[in-house]
Structure 1
């Protein structure tokens, strides 16, 4: 009967132990590391606090607001397809943002050009469910051509340019000093004779694309106070936006924060994740599981490594 030498058996066990260590170290290298440091998500830009759902760093905040805000020389900028806008305020209590557009007209200056200066406010279709103009914001389009979509297909008595939002309208806007030098001002309506100012609610147009609407410029004002502002000279000019999160996100960030985590998202799948120091969770920092620590891609790669090492281990042992 053939006998296996004791040294050969000991050598086999040594190899098994060594391979197990290699498997644990190399098959799951990313399971114990979060993509984003725990203290990196909450930040500041100038005097503005950047907090969930917004962020300046990839992986922080909510995926619906990724690649949206940038801090440039201490000035917070919001970037979307229609341009870049300075962020004046973020109201986390009422889910609002206030923006300044340098190409926008106000009560003292009419910024108009034949081809339009600036592009109004247009967000990506996928982002529109997260970010849109506030219902208390009024858009006043200036010098729109008769061929504009605003004047096509409406019944004769439907006057889309005479919207009144929070006590503001074009009839009031005509009283601004800026119109004294402009000369013509008309509230007439018709395909052949459109008004100089066309006031619309944000919900009346899918996006405020000045080029598409064939206008020369625009002004925007908002009023969040319960009282009507006394006149256009004291209106608050700018873009007031509302942001929201999907219903399935309800309570996620609160649960994550209550267990010591930081709210973020997976940069591959864009799913919500709770950043818990040296690992990520799909719920909160009190739960720990395989799916909480690694993305699907990472798990697949690690399992492939595991299978390869397993085959190598079987081949090596049976060489003795």
Structure 2
């Protein structure tokens, strides 16, 4: 049975189809805008995440890509060749992170030394062990390690001293936070020049721990106090584009990078730009064209087929239906 529609019915049906297209267009446009406005997380637990770091791929500097991770429990960790280690604190004014190594000796162990493993860093990154670190080694074999007090002149001319393990170290005599004296164990202080030297020391020593000197802002010589942990210094690569991107007067964006090309991208609520967020006003027309193109590709094949079928059906009805509302002309025809 053939269906014959009047001109007013066909116009109503056309309006319904236009509304469907509008709703779908708005839905996919909003979806795309939301995906562009997913900015980088700014913290992990109570530790702030700022440039050059990022815990979401494409955030921060590509030099530190895949280095930091935020665990499901909200703990910030650093990835190194020797494992993943919890980060105690991050300083951006004095660029460094403080790492806790659960495998290292601590005061609670006393003289019960646990098996440990050497901490290492990837030398291809912008990380480096801080010279404010000191390592204490326990029960080293004097047949393989030079264990003796260093001469006094070594403090003034360290380049003239060999790499012996200093048994007269201040830290060995004043263990931070420990109320006992390690009378039954030998202790010496040593700063390894590389991971290999640290690994070699542990081959001939029972265990070790890392102590860094924390600045407390007091007058010298009380401006630093020793604490357990590993201080890792890092560089902050500063570029003009990143400064422009972060500039509040230019939109206050977040510095990031393209995950495929690793080229710079300014992440903004309105989308991603190669300079700063205020470019949104300049490039809004171009972006609208891209959004429309993206929306068309986002519409499902079934939806596109249904819309095409509706248009084909109206055309077919128009060719068969009699003209009942006056003469059909270019001014009043549907298609």
What residue number does 1:304 align with? none
Classify 1:64/1:270 alpha carbon distance in 2 versus 1 (closer, same or farther; 3 Å): same
What residue number does 2:303 align with? none
Does 1:112 pair with 2:102? no
What residue number does 2:95 align with? 95
SS at match of 2:166: coil
Q: How many residues align?
A: 231
Q: TM-score, normalised by structure 1?
A: 0.58
For residues 278 and 163 of structure 1, the distance between their equivalents in structure 2, rounded to whole angstroms, comes to 61
The match for 1:243 among 230, 234, 238 is 234
Does 1:206 pair with 2:210? no
Shift of residue 239, structure 1, vs aligned partner: 1.4
Structure 2 residues not aligned, in runs of 5+: 1-31, 148-158, 287-335
The match for 1:161 among 165, 176, 194 is 165
For residues 64 and 150 of structure 1, the distance between their equivalents in structure 2, rounded to whole angstroms, comes to 39
For residues 223 and 48 of structure 2, the distance between their equivalents in structure 1, rounded to whole angstroms, comes to 32
* 1:1-320 mapped onto 2 (5 Å cutoff): 37-72=36-71, 73-110=73-110, 112-113=113-114, 116-120=115-119, 122-127=120-125, 130-145=126-141, 158=162, 160-162=164-166, 169-173=171-175, 176-177=178-179, 179-180=181-182, 183-185=184-186, 196-200=187-191, 204-207=192-195, 210-213=198-201, 214=203, 215-223=205-213, 224-225=215-216, 227-228=220-221, 235-246=226-237, 249-258=238-247, 259-260=250-251, 261-277=253-269, 279-286=271-278
For residues 240 and 117 of structure 1, the distance between their equivalents in structure 2, rounded to whole angstroms, comes to 19
Structure 1 residues not aligned, in runs of 5+: 1-32, 186-195, 294-320
Classify 1:218/1:274 alpha carbon distance in 2 versus 1 (closer, same or farther; 3 Å): same
SS at match of 1:86: strand
Shift of residue 57, structure 1, vs aligned partner: 0.7
* Cα displacement string for residues 155-190 of structure 1 (whole angstroms, at most 9, x for unaligned residues): 9963542399xx95434449955653x6132xxxxx
* Cα displacement string for residues 73-98 of structure 1 (whole angstroms, at most 9, x for unaligned residues): 12222221112221111122221212
* Cα displacement string for residues 8-32 of structure 1 (whole angstroms, at most 9, x for unaligned residues): xxxxxxxxxxxxxxxxxxxxxxxxx
For residues 170 and 91 of structure 1, the distance between their equivalents in structure 2, rounded to whole angstroms, comes to 28
Larger Rg: 2
Classify 1:174/1:88 alpha carbon distance in 2 versus 1 (closer, same or farther; 3 Å): closer
Q: TM-score, normalised by structure 2?
A: 0.56
* Cα displacement string for residues 287-315 of structure 1 (whole angstroms, at most 9, x for unaligned residues): 6999xx9xxxxxxxxxxxxxxxxxxxxxx
Classify 1:37/1:81 alpha carbon distance in 2 versus 1 (closer, same or farther; 3 Å): farther
Native 8 Å contact 2:67 2:78 kept in 1: yes
Shift of residue 109, structure 1, vs aligned partner: 2.9
For residues 287 and 144 of structure 1, the distance between their equivalents in structure 2, rounded to whole angstroms, comes to 62
> Larger % of helix: which?
2
For residues 150 and 274 of structure 1, the distance between their equivalents in structure 2, rounded to whole angstroms, comes to 54
SS at match of 2:78: strand
